[in-house]
C-alpha cells in the first residue's frame, strides 16, 4: 500500500512544472518519492465543541481548506491529502455531528449551515489560516461560500466538486427535501429518514461509478456507523431541513463569483443524481474563466477518479496560487 501511494505521488509530481515558486516548497519529485507527507490528526475546542481536523504540509505554505460533504467527513480526503501536502498546508475539518468531531444533541446545538460556517471560520482563525483556497463538495459548498461572503479577501481560489450554487442543480432528488422546507411537519421530516440509511449511504458511493471495484466499502461502513450513533439521525434531518436556507443566498454566492473572480477549477462527477451535471455549467455564467472538467463518475468522484483529479488539482494550484 505504501509503495502504491509513493508511486502515485511520484506520478503526480512528474507532470508538474519543475520551476520553484516563492510561496511553495520546491517541486522535487525525488524528494516526494522518498518521503510521503505525514498527516496529523488534531482537535481543538470551539464554542464548547471538540472539532477534529486533519492537517499536513509545511506551516508556511499556501493553505488549502478541504470542506467535506454529507454524510462523510474529512475521511473523504484521506487519499488526496498526501498528494498535495508536500507543497501546500492542507487542513480538512470534520463539522460537528460528523467524523471525529463532537456530535452534541440537536436540542443543545444549532445544526444550521450558518453555525457550521461559524465553526469553520473560528477554526481557520485558531490555526492562523488568514488566506486559503477551498475545495468544496456537497455540504462543503454552501459552508465554503458562506465563509467567502464573510471574508472575501481571504479566498485565493476555489475547487468545486459536485457542490451547488445554482437552482438548476436542485433536481428531482431534492423534491421531498423541498417539501420539508415548505412545511416542516413531523410527517415530512420522517419521510427523509431513508436518506440516513445504509442503503442510501452505499448508493452515494456506488451509483454512477465506472467500476465499483474501485470503491472501498470502508466508506459506507464508516459513514453509516457514525450516522447510526444515538441522536445522529435528528442531527442530519435538522441539516437537511436547514439546507433550504442556502438557496436564498445563491444570488450572493453568485455575486461573489462575479465580483471577485477567484481562480476556479470545477471537477464534477456527471453521473451524480444528488448534484447532477446541470448544476456545474451555470458556474460559467459568473466565472467565465473557470476550468471545467466533467468526469465519468458519481457523487464521491474522488473515490473513483483520484488518478485524474489529483493531477488536475495540483496543476491548477501550482499555476494559480504558487505563482
- Residue 197's alpha-carbon distances to 141, 146, 189, 194, 200, in angstroms, are 23, 29, 14, 5, 5
- Residue 221's alpha-carbon distances to 69, 70, 133, 224, in angstroms, are 16, 14, 30, 5
Q: For cell 429518514, what's the residue? A: 193
Q: How many residues does the chain have?
A: 323
Find, among 33, 26, 29, the residue nearest to 318 by Cα: 26
Residues 6+ apart with CB under 8 A from 83: 8, 9, 12, 306, 310, 314
Phi, psi of 293 (to 5 degrees): -130, 110
Alpha carbon distance 319, 307 (integer Å): 19
- Among residues 68, 75, 106, 299, the one annotated as catalytic is 299
- 299 part of the active site: yes
Alpha carbon distance 230, 235 (integer Å): 10
Name the helix (H) or strand (E) containing 163.
none
**Active-site residue numbers?**
299
Amino acid at each position: 500500500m505504501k509503495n502504491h501511494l509513493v508511486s502515485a505521488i511520484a506520478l503526480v509530481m512528474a507532470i508538474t512544472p519543475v520551476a520553484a515558486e516563492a510561496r511553495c516548497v520546491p517541486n522535487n519529485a525525488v524528494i516526494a518519492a522518498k518521503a510521503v507527507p505525514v498527516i496529523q490528526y488534531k482537535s481543538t475546542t470551539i464554542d464548547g465543541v471538540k472539532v477534529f481536523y486533519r492537517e499536513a504540509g509545511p506551516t508556511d505554505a499556501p493553505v488549502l481548506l478541504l470542506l467535506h460533504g454529507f454524510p462523510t467527513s474529512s475521511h473523504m480526503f484521506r487519499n488526496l491529502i498526501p498528494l498535495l501536502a508536500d507543497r501546500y498546508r492542507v487542513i480538512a475539518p470534520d463539522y460537528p455531528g460528523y467524523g471525529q468531531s463532537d456530535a452534541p444533541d440537536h436540542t443543545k446545538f444549532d445544526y444550521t449551515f450558518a453555525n457550521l460556517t461559524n465553526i469553520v471560520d473560528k477554526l481557520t482563525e485558531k490555526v492562523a489560516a488568514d488566506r486559503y483556497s477551498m475545495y468544496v463538495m456537497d455540504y462543503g459548498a454552501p459552508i465554503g461560500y458562506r465563509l467567502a461572503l464573510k471574508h472575501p479577501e481571504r479566498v485565493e481560489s476555489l475547487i468545486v466538486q459536485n457542490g451547488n450554487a445554482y437552482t438548476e442543480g436542485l433536481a428531482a432528488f431534492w423534491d421531498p427535501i423541498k417539501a420539508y422546507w415548505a412545511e416542516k411537519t413531523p410527517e415530512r421530516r420522517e419521510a427523509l429518514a431513508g436518506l440516513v440509511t445504509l442503503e442510501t449511504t452505499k448508493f452515494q458511493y456506488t451509483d454512477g461509478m465506472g467500476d465499483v471495484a474501485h470503491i472501498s466499502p470502508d466508506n459506507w461502513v464508516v459513514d453509516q456507523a457514525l450516522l447510526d450513533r444515538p441522536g445522529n439521525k435528528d442531527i442530519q434531518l435538522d441539516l437537511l431541513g436547514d439546507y433550504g436556507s442556502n438557496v436564498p443566498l445563491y444570488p450572493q454566492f453568485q455575486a461573489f463569483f462575479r465580483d471577485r473572480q477567484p481562480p476556479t477549477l470545477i471537477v464534477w462527477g456527471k453521473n451524480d443524481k444528488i448534484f447532477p451535471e446541470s448544476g456545474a455549467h451555470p458556474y460559467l455564467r459568473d466565472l467565465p474563466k473557470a476550468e471545467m472538467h466533467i468526469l465519468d463518475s458519481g457523487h464521491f468522484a474522488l473515490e473513483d477518479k483520484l488518478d485524474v483529479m489529483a493531477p488536475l488539482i495540483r496543476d491548477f494550484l501550482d499555476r494559480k496560487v504558487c505563482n
